[in-house]
Structure 1
Amino acid sequence: MSKESDQKVTDFFRTYQDRGMKKWQGFMLSDYTSTVSKIDKKRAQVYEKKKPMSLESISEILMIAYANHRLVSVQLKQVDIDDKFLPDIVGTVDGYQVDHVVISGEWIELEDINHVEEYMD
Protein backbone atom coordinates (compact mmCIF):
# COMPACT_ATOMS: atom_id res chain seq x y z
CA MET A 1 0.00 0.00 0.00
CA SER A 2 1.12 3.50 -0.68
CA LYS A 3 1.52 6.16 1.96
CA GLU A 4 -1.51 8.02 0.53
CA SER A 5 -3.83 4.98 0.77
CA ASP A 6 -2.53 4.26 4.30
CA GLN A 7 -3.47 7.82 5.26
CA LYS A 8 -6.98 7.43 3.79
CA VAL A 9 -7.54 4.23 5.75
CA THR A 10 -6.26 5.83 8.95
CA ASP A 11 -8.49 8.89 8.44
CA PHE A 12 -11.49 6.71 7.73
CA PHE A 13 -11.16 4.69 10.93
CA ARG A 14 -10.39 7.79 13.01
CA THR A 15 -13.72 9.40 12.04
CA TYR A 16 -15.83 6.23 11.54
CA GLN A 17 -18.60 5.69 14.06
CA ASP A 18 -20.08 2.21 14.07
CA ARG A 19 -23.85 2.28 14.37
CA GLY A 20 -23.63 -0.89 16.43
CA MET A 21 -26.97 -2.55 17.04
CA LYS A 22 -28.92 0.20 15.29
CA LYS A 23 -28.21 -1.36 11.90
CA TRP A 24 -29.69 -4.69 13.07
CA GLN A 25 -32.74 -3.40 14.93
CA GLY A 26 -34.94 -3.41 11.85
CA PHE A 27 -34.26 -7.09 11.28
CA MET A 28 -34.72 -8.00 14.93
CA LEU A 29 -37.95 -6.04 15.24
CA SER A 30 -39.34 -7.80 12.17
CA ASP A 31 -38.43 -11.25 13.53
CA TYR A 32 -39.80 -10.37 16.96
CA THR A 33 -43.16 -9.15 15.66
CA SER A 34 -43.45 -12.21 13.43
CA THR A 35 -42.83 -14.52 16.40
CA VAL A 36 -45.23 -12.62 18.65
CA SER A 37 -47.88 -12.78 15.94
CA LYS A 38 -47.50 -16.57 15.68
CA ILE A 39 -47.75 -16.94 19.46
CA ASP A 40 -50.86 -14.73 19.57
CA LYS A 41 -52.54 -16.81 16.85
CA LYS A 42 -51.73 -20.01 18.71
CA ARG A 43 -53.13 -18.61 21.98
CA ALA A 44 -56.28 -17.40 20.24
CA GLN A 45 -56.99 -20.82 18.78
CA VAL A 46 -59.88 -22.48 20.59
CA TYR A 47 -60.27 -26.24 20.75
CA GLU A 48 -63.90 -27.21 21.17
CA LYS A 49 -64.85 -29.87 23.66
CA LYS A 50 -65.66 -33.05 21.82
CA LYS A 51 -68.37 -35.46 22.86
CA PRO A 52 -67.22 -37.39 25.96
CA MET A 53 -66.79 -41.11 25.41
CA SER A 54 -67.09 -44.11 27.69
CA LEU A 55 -63.97 -45.91 28.82
CA GLU A 56 -65.09 -48.96 26.85
CA SER A 57 -65.44 -46.98 23.59
CA ILE A 58 -62.07 -45.32 24.12
CA SER A 59 -60.40 -48.67 24.78
CA GLU A 60 -61.98 -50.27 21.72
CA ILE A 61 -60.80 -47.52 19.36
CA LEU A 62 -57.30 -47.54 20.85
CA MET A 63 -57.01 -51.33 20.56
CA ILE A 64 -58.11 -51.27 16.90
CA ALA A 65 -55.64 -48.46 16.15
CA TYR A 66 -52.87 -50.36 17.95
CA ALA A 67 -53.57 -53.59 16.06
CA ASN A 68 -53.74 -51.84 12.67
CA HIS A 69 -50.95 -49.26 13.20
CA ARG A 70 -53.30 -46.33 12.63
CA LEU A 71 -53.00 -42.74 13.80
CA VAL A 72 -55.35 -41.53 16.50
CA SER A 73 -56.35 -38.11 17.73
CA VAL A 74 -56.86 -37.89 21.51
CA GLN A 75 -58.52 -35.06 23.39
CA LEU A 76 -57.72 -35.01 27.09
CA LYS A 77 -60.11 -33.86 29.80
CA GLN A 78 -57.38 -31.49 30.99
CA VAL A 79 -57.80 -27.75 30.34
CA ASP A 80 -55.32 -24.87 30.59
CA ILE A 81 -55.43 -21.98 33.07
CA ASP A 82 -58.01 -20.19 30.89
CA ASP A 83 -60.34 -23.24 30.94
CA LYS A 84 -59.55 -24.00 27.30
CA PHE A 85 -58.94 -27.48 25.97
CA LEU A 86 -55.42 -28.32 24.88
CA PRO A 87 -54.67 -29.38 21.31
CA ASP A 88 -55.34 -33.03 20.53
CA ILE A 89 -52.49 -35.49 20.84
CA VAL A 90 -51.98 -37.12 17.47
CA GLY A 91 -49.88 -40.20 16.93
CA THR A 92 -49.67 -43.95 16.77
CA VAL A 93 -50.53 -46.19 19.68
CA ASP A 94 -47.13 -47.57 20.70
CA GLY A 95 -48.32 -49.56 23.71
CA TYR A 96 -51.39 -50.36 25.70
CA GLN A 97 -52.06 -51.47 29.28
CA VAL A 98 -55.19 -51.82 31.36
CA ASP A 99 -55.16 -48.20 32.58
CA HIS A 100 -52.55 -46.50 30.34
CA VAL A 101 -51.84 -46.01 26.68
CA VAL A 102 -48.63 -44.85 25.01
CA ILE A 103 -49.18 -42.57 22.03
CA SER A 104 -46.03 -41.55 20.17
CA GLY A 105 -43.96 -42.08 23.31
CA GLU A 106 -46.31 -40.20 25.66
CA TRP A 107 -47.92 -42.12 28.54
CA ILE A 108 -51.58 -41.23 29.00
CA GLU A 109 -53.98 -42.52 31.63
CA LEU A 110 -57.20 -43.78 30.06
CA GLU A 111 -59.22 -41.89 32.70
CA ASP A 112 -57.75 -38.61 31.40
CA ILE A 113 -59.07 -39.14 27.87
CA ASN A 114 -62.25 -37.29 26.92
CA HIS A 115 -62.48 -38.35 23.28
CA VAL A 116 -60.51 -40.44 20.80
CA GLU A 117 -60.94 -41.01 17.09
CA GLU A 118 -58.97 -42.30 14.15
CA TYR A 119 -56.96 -39.44 12.74
CA MET A 120 -57.79 -38.38 9.20
CA ASP A 121 -55.65 -35.81 7.38
Structure 2
Amino acid sequence: MGATPMSKEFDQRVTDFFAHYQDRGMKKWAGFFLSDHTAMINKETRQKSVPDRAEMSREECGKVLGEAFGNQRSVAVQLKEVDENGDRPEEIVDFVQGYAEDKVVIGEHVIALDDLRCVLLLSD
Protein backbone atom coordinates (compact mmCIF):
# COMPACT_ATOMS: atom_id res chain seq x y z
CA MET A 1 0.00 0.00 0.00
CA GLY A 2 1.41 3.40 -0.90
CA ALA A 3 1.35 6.57 1.14
CA THR A 4 -1.42 9.01 0.34
CA PRO A 5 -0.64 12.64 -0.38
CA MET A 6 -2.27 13.55 2.94
CA SER A 7 -0.10 11.21 4.99
CA LYS A 8 3.03 12.52 3.19
CA GLU A 9 2.03 16.05 4.14
CA PHE A 10 1.46 14.99 7.75
CA ASP A 11 4.81 13.19 7.88
CA GLN A 12 6.50 16.30 6.49
CA ARG A 13 4.86 18.51 9.16
CA VAL A 14 5.97 16.14 11.93
CA THR A 15 9.51 16.07 10.54
CA ASP A 16 9.58 19.88 10.27
CA PHE A 17 8.21 20.26 13.80
CA PHE A 18 10.90 18.11 15.41
CA ALA A 19 13.63 19.61 13.20
CA HIS A 20 12.83 23.11 14.56
CA TYR A 21 11.57 22.23 18.08
CA GLN A 22 13.50 23.81 20.95
CA ASP A 23 12.98 22.21 24.34
CA ARG A 24 12.46 24.71 27.17
CA GLY A 25 14.40 22.48 29.54
CA MET A 26 13.71 22.98 33.25
CA LYS A 27 11.30 25.87 32.63
CA LYS A 28 8.54 23.45 31.77
CA TRP A 29 8.93 21.69 35.13
CA ALA A 30 8.72 24.84 37.27
CA GLY A 31 5.04 24.27 38.04
CA PHE A 32 5.62 20.76 39.36
CA PHE A 33 7.32 21.50 42.69
CA LEU A 34 5.85 19.55 45.58
CA SER A 35 3.85 21.58 48.07
CA ASP A 36 6.19 20.54 50.90
CA HIS A 37 9.17 21.82 48.94
CA THR A 38 7.38 25.08 48.17
CA ALA A 39 6.46 25.50 51.85
CA MET A 40 10.08 24.95 52.86
CA ILE A 41 11.29 27.55 50.37
CA ASN A 42 8.67 30.04 51.56
CA LYS A 43 9.64 29.45 55.19
CA GLU A 44 13.29 30.12 54.43
CA THR A 45 12.62 33.27 52.45
CA ARG A 46 9.91 34.96 54.48
CA GLN A 47 10.72 37.14 57.43
CA LYS A 48 9.21 36.43 60.81
CA SER A 49 6.24 38.69 61.41
CA VAL A 50 6.70 38.69 65.21
CA PRO A 51 10.33 38.87 66.35
CA ASP A 52 11.52 36.67 69.19
CA ARG A 53 12.03 38.69 72.33
CA ALA A 54 14.49 37.74 75.05
CA GLU A 55 12.88 35.16 77.33
CA MET A 56 12.22 36.34 80.88
CA SER A 57 11.93 34.27 84.02
CA ARG A 58 8.56 33.83 85.69
CA GLU A 59 9.69 36.17 88.49
CA GLU A 60 10.75 38.90 86.03
CA CYS A 61 7.41 38.63 84.26
CA GLY A 62 5.60 38.85 87.61
CA LYS A 63 7.46 42.05 88.58
CA VAL A 64 6.58 43.78 85.31
CA LEU A 65 2.94 42.61 85.54
CA GLY A 66 2.72 43.85 89.14
CA GLU A 67 4.10 47.27 88.20
CA ALA A 68 1.72 47.52 85.25
CA PHE A 69 -1.26 46.53 87.41
CA GLY A 70 -0.35 48.93 90.22
CA ASN A 71 0.28 51.89 87.93
CA GLN A 72 -2.51 51.21 85.40
CA ARG A 73 -0.08 50.85 82.52
CA SER A 74 -0.44 48.61 79.48
CA VAL A 75 1.87 45.73 78.63
CA ALA A 76 2.94 43.82 75.54
CA VAL A 77 3.03 40.07 76.20
CA GLN A 78 4.76 37.48 74.05
CA LEU A 79 3.79 33.85 74.65
CA LYS A 80 6.09 30.83 74.49
CA GLU A 81 3.89 29.01 71.97
CA VAL A 82 4.83 28.74 68.29
CA ASP A 83 2.88 27.41 65.31
CA GLU A 84 3.91 24.60 62.95
CA ASN A 85 6.08 27.08 60.99
CA GLY A 86 7.95 28.22 64.11
CA ASP A 87 6.20 31.61 64.14
CA ARG A 88 4.85 33.21 67.28
CA PRO A 89 1.29 34.55 67.55
CA GLU A 90 0.80 38.31 67.67
CA GLU A 91 1.71 39.91 70.97
CA ILE A 92 -1.11 40.69 73.36
CA VAL A 93 -1.19 44.42 74.14
CA ASP A 94 -3.61 45.56 76.84
CA PHE A 95 -3.96 46.41 80.52
CA VAL A 96 -3.48 43.92 83.34
CA GLN A 97 -6.95 43.34 84.78
CA GLY A 98 -5.84 41.11 87.65
CA TYR A 99 -4.53 37.73 88.79
CA ALA A 100 -6.20 34.41 89.44
CA GLU A 101 -3.97 31.73 91.05
CA ASP A 102 -1.22 30.96 88.48
CA LYS A 103 -2.90 33.01 85.77
CA VAL A 104 -2.99 36.64 84.78
CA VAL A 105 -5.85 38.44 83.07
CA ILE A 106 -4.69 40.84 80.36
CA GLY A 107 -7.58 42.53 78.61
CA GLU A 108 -9.92 39.63 77.85
CA HIS A 109 -7.14 37.00 77.81
CA VAL A 110 -6.56 34.63 80.71
CA ILE A 111 -2.95 33.44 80.45
CA ALA A 112 -1.02 30.94 82.57
CA LEU A 113 2.12 32.52 84.03
CA ASP A 114 4.17 29.56 82.72
CA ASP A 115 3.09 30.44 79.15
CA LEU A 116 4.65 33.92 79.26
CA ARG A 117 7.89 34.40 77.33
CA CYS A 118 8.33 38.15 77.71
CA VAL A 119 6.37 41.02 79.24
CA LEU A 120 7.17 44.62 78.32
CA LEU A 121 5.85 47.63 80.18
CA LEU A 122 4.59 50.14 77.63
CA SER A 123 4.87 53.86 78.03
CA ASP A 124 1.47 55.50 77.75
Q: Secondary structure at the match of 2:82?
A: coil
Question: Size of the alignment, in residue pairs?
Answer: 79
- In structure 2, the residue corresponding to 1:94 is in which secondary structure? strand
Contact 2:48 2:87 in 1 (8 A): no
CA distance in 1, matches of 2:101, 2:120: 19
Q: What are the ranges of 5 or more consecutive residues in structure 2 without an aligned counterpart?
A: 1-45
CA distance in 2, matches of 1:65, 1:56: 14
TM-score (norm 1): 0.60
Partner residue, 2:26: none
> Which amino acid counterpart does residue 118 of structure 1 have in structure 2?
L
Runs of 4+ in structure 1 off by over 2 angstroms are none
Gaps of 5+ in 1: 1-42
Match of 1:111 in 2: 114
The residue type paired with residue 120 of structure 2 is: E
- TM-score, with length taken from structure 2: 0.59
- Match of 1:111, SS state, is helix
Q: Which has the larger radius of gyration?
A: 2
Instruction: Give 2:69's aligned residue.
Output: 66
The Cα of 1:119 is off from its aligned counterpart by 2.1
